[in-house]
Amino acid sequence: MTQNRPLPWAYLDEYRGKDFKGEWPTFPELLAIQNKRFGERPCFTDFDGPDGSKRTLNYSQVYEKVQILANFLLAKGLKKGDRVALAGKNSPEWAITYLAILCASGIVIPIADSLHDPETGNIIKASTPKFAFVDDGKIPYLKENFPQMIIYSLNPTDPENFVLNLSAPEVAAENKNEPATEEDLALILFTSGTTGNPKGVMLTHKNIISDGYIAQTNLLILHTDVFYALLPIHHAYTMQAAFICPLQVGAEIVFGKSLAVTRLMKELREGKISIMLGVPLLYNKLLSGINKGIAAKGAIVSGAVSILRGISFLVKKLTGKNIGRKLFSKVLEQANISTLRVAICGGGPLAKSVFRQYQEMGIDFIQGYGLTETSPIIALNPLEKFKIQSVGRDFSPYEEIKILESEDAENLNTRGGKKIGEICVKGPMVMKGYYNMPEETAKMFTEDGFLKTGDLGWMDKDHYIMLCGRAKNLIVTSGGKNVYPEEIEDSFQLFYDIQQVTVRAYHPENDATAEEIEALIYVSDDLYKRMACKRNSDFVQQEIVNEVQMIVSRVNKKLQPYEHITRISILKEPLEMTPSQKVKRNYTPNIYPKTV
């Protein structure tokens, strides 16, 4: 516990044994409890009303719509354990469908709306859902290729099949499915399936519900908070942090559907967002806009702001008092984040300088860490005692974290006097396994039952985790030194002339055994504009190359000699990204012929 406050799930004791009988409530039980507690409070909000107006459903309205849809699924023959595909943009309709499937004792198969049809098809083949609820764009492909599947729409443009228009006569009690228990599967989260063999992470009601509550031991959230679900909600990170956790406290959820700046600013302002989550890319862009606005006011103002930032951060670290919100109130208002209480970052480490600048301006900015197989959160930086270099503190005693050192431990680099190794975890949030893949499941666990995350890092004496990178991305130099590409990539986060950078190994000429460091770089439109150049598909201008070389030289000066980038390749187009804005490293880059 970070502070002397009640456990986040303490209120459940009032309902234990009456409204639920397990250690943790299931989703249907949780929703019923919150309907009793917060029936008239706002639950789901979006800005898809007439002319972009705000629409809000309270907890009672959500509960009623969930029960109607759950009854409809039962009337259509959904049996306990049947799988239901759910693919669509963030919306109240998506969330209501998710909860209704679980209330009918079904299993949710969340699918990224951004996937291409063949990838969606691979997941459908692997999971064999009985029903599908999708955005209109996916309906023609699914009807043609999966005629046995019953398909409904998440969009009101198809009123006959629109999810909120579906209803049926009440199903008799004796014909309803047996209620799900906390040990039953709630959802299966699949990889994209680009290889034709998608891997499905099986998560139970207990996995997801326990993880949401346990995560709150490092973060106090309130029923008065307004969460912003902007990143794709099918992803475990957004699903947990901006959907499940808010439901557990009775908070409001605003669904964002687009990263377009004008819409983003409108939703932040009019939604009065108090808790926002994003990935490093989003926060870097937001901070870039703030800093450009300050710089435009001249050197004197910029200098004064820099001094005030330093004072603000020092006061916060020494006393815990947040004076930045008052000092920079005008700046925060202009950025439409004056109501923002907490900003959460996941999906990858954030540059220390970015983390610090948000803290200086009065935004309680924290990082979390986890993976889909752990529901997904296994560490969170507590607001009251954060460590700027850490991705979060573990949740002991409610989970166990250990660092699994390589058998070849002598070759492991060290940080803070600690050996770097693979991060392993054991706890109620750890998945049941991979769907229909017992051998793949077995490979993920140690003999004593710890899940191997595939991430390399170390943990200090206070149980804060320091992340280095993915084990499969590790580069070993000819001198036997380990290089973590993600650590080098993080060094570029505040160089706004570079939109994307990916670090990888390459073999120097005539030496197939040695590995050196190459940076694949996609240059921003701003740099082309500033240099009065136009992006060309055949060649890259020398002026652009020179600017990139200068940035790489500045980064190299901050790195260890064995980490230095020795080759730069400039990309014609950005590398493909996952829905959580991570680069797909197995994607073949389209590089200009000239490398530097």
pLDDT, tens digit, for every residue of 81-95? Answer: 999 999 999 999 999
pLDDT band at 1 (very low <50, low <70, confident <90, very high): very low
Strand arrangement of the beta sheet that strand 565-570 belongs to: 498-506, 516-523, 565-570
Look at residues 214, 170, 199, 557 and name the one whose alpha carbon lies nearest to residue 376: 214
pLDDT of residue 588: 77
Q: Which of 363-369's residues contact partners 24+ apart within 8 Å by CB, and which partners?
A: 363/324, 363/325, 363/332, 363/337, 364/322, 365/283, 366/219, 366/342, 366/392, 367/391, 367/392, 368/215, 368/241, 368/344, 368/392, 369/465, 369/467
Total length of the chain: 596
pLDDT of residue 44: 98
- In this predicted structure, which of 51-65, 130-144, 362-376 has the lowest mean pLDDT? 362-376
pLDDT of residue 406: 67
Environment class of 495 (CB within 10 Å of its CB; exposed 0-12, middle 13-18, buried 19+): buried
Q: Which two tokens stand for residue 322?
A: 């947040």
What residues contact 207, with CB distance under 8 A and at least 6 apart?
Answer: 186, 375, 428, 429, 430, 431, 432
Q: Which two tokens stand for residue 371?
A: 């993976």
**466-514: per-residue pLDDT in tens?**
988 888 888 877 666 788 888 898 889 878 899 999 999 888 876 666 6
Tell which wins on pLDDT, 165 or 516: 165
Alpha-carbon dihedral angle through residues 582, 583, 587, 592, given to the nearest 10 degrees:
160
pLDDT of residue 527: 94
pLDDT of residue 486: 86
**420-439: per-residue pLDDT in tens?**
899 999 999 999 999 999 99
Q: Is the Cβ–Cβ distance between 154 and 94 less than 8 Å? A: yes
pLDDT of residue 407: 56
AA letter at 179: P
Distance separating alpha carbons of residues 360 and 313, to the nearest angstrom = 5
pLDDT band at 278 (very low <50, low <70, confident <90, very high): confident
pLDDT of residue 4: 75
Mean pLDDT of the 364-381 span: 92
Q: What are phi and psi for residue 478, nearest 5 degrees? A: -65, -20
Residue 410 has pLDDT above 50, yes or no: no
Task: Report helix angle 299-319 to 280-295, nearest 10.
Answer: 130
**164-213: per-residue pLDDT in tens?**
999 999 999 998 999 999 999 999 999 765 555 789 999 999 999 999 99
Distance separating alpha carbons of residues 351 and 487, to the nearest angstrom = 9
Look at residues 80, 112, 73 and name the one whose alpha carbon lies nearest to residue 96: 73
Distance separating alpha carbons of residues 287 and 343, to the nearest angstrom = 12
How high does pLDDT run on average in the chain?
Answer: 91
pLDDT band at 409 (very low <50, low <70, confident <90, very high): very low
Distance separating alpha carbons of residues 123 and 104, to the nearest angstrom = 22
**185-195: per-residue pLDDT in tens?**
999 999 765 55
Residue 343 has pLDDT above 80, yes or no: yes
Distance separating alpha carbons of residues 396 and 472, to the nearest angstrom = 28
Residue 238 has pLDDT above 70, yes or no: yes
Three-state secondary-structure class, residue 521: strand
pLDDT band at 412 (very low <50, low <70, confident <90, very high): low
Tell which wins on pLDDT, 495 or 227: 227
